[in-house]
Amino acid sequence: MDSFTPLSAALGGFLIGLSAVLFMALNGRIAGISGIVAGALTPVKGDWAWRAAFVAGLILSPLVAWLAISEKPAVTFTHPIWLTALGGLLVGFGARLGGGCTSGHGVCGMARLSKRSIAATGTFMATALATVFILHRILGF
């Protein structure tokens, strides 16, 4: 457990929660990233710009952090790029079929005590843990 970083995890988690609360208070919406992105793919008049603005904020955030602490946030890929892409395909497909991802179900939905979100979060946690177990411990990735 030598890579455990509880303080930055708690602070970052607080900011994620705070942004979910602010988004509900100001825009009246669930801060679910897959839903925000998917909705931008089939643009409806008047329903596109706020989605683009949210994504622009996300994309700028590591650059703001980089400027603030003059250190580039670490990003390390340990899996091959084809596996990352295959994962992306399943993430996109699964998030839409299941109506949400880690943010929409895992944070916002669970915080609303939604039975659907609790079931979804339990399910994707289980299959993700099983997938990494198979990839790392059996297939040797």
Ranges within 11-30 binding other proteins (CB under 8 A): 11-30
| Given 70, 115, 139, 140, the residue binding other proteins (CB under 8 A) | 115
Q: Which residue has the tokens 């899996």?
A: 79
Cα–Cα distance, 24 to 42 (Å, whole number): 23
Q: How far is CA 57 from CA 19, 36, 54, 111, 139, in A?
A: 12, 13, 5, 23, 38
| Interaction between residue 85 and other proteins (CB under 8 A) | yes
Of 20, 44, 15, nearest to 106 by C-alpha is 20
| Given 45, 62, 70, 139, the residue binding other proteins (CB under 8 A) | 62
| Interaction between residue 67 and other proteins (CB under 8 A) | no
| Interaction between residue 116 and other proteins (CB under 8 A) | yes
Cα–Cα distance, 98 to 101 (Å, whole number): 8
| Given 43, 66, 70, 140, the residue binding other proteins (CB under 8 A) | 66
| Given 43, 44, 45, 57, the residue binding other proteins (CB under 8 A) | 57
Cα–Cα distance, 110 to 57 (Å, whole number): 24
| Interaction between residue 48 and other proteins (CB under 8 A) | no
| Interaction between residue 70 and other proteins (CB under 8 A) | no
